Amino acid sequence: MATTTTNDLKNGMTLDLDGDLVQVVEFQHVKPGKGGAFVRTTLRNWRTGSVVDRTFRAGEKVDRAFIEKSEVQFLYRDGVDFVVMDNETFDQHTVSEVSMGDAANYIVESSNITMLRYIEEVIGIELPASVELSISETEPGVQGDRVSGARKPATLETGLVVQVPLFVETGERIKVDTRSGEYMTRA
Using the 3D structure, point to which of 126, 149, 164 is the last residue of a domain: 126
Q: Are 31 and 37 in contact (CB under 8 A)?
A: yes
d(CA 111, CA 106) in angstroms, rounded, equals 10
Structural domain harbouring 156: 131-186
Q: Are residues 10 and 48 in the same domain?
A: yes
Q: Beta partners for 152?
A: 164
Global confidence as pTM: 0.71
Residue-level pLDDT, tens digit, the chain, 187 residues = 688 888 888 888 889 888 888 889 999 998 888 888 999 999 988 877 788 999 999 888 999 988 888 899 999 988 888 898 988 888 888 888 877 878 888 888 888 888 888 888 888 888 888 888 999 998 887 665 566 677 888 999 888 899 988 888 889 999 998 888 888 888 8
d(CA 180, CA 187) in angstroms, rounded, equals 18
Using the 3D structure, point to which of 64, 88, 110 is the last residue of a domain: 64
Using the 3D structure, point to which of 109, 126, 143 is the last residue of a domain: 126
Domain total of the chain: 3
Q: Are residues 145 and 175 in the same domain?
A: yes
Q: What is the CATH number of the domain that holds 32?
A: 2.30.30.30
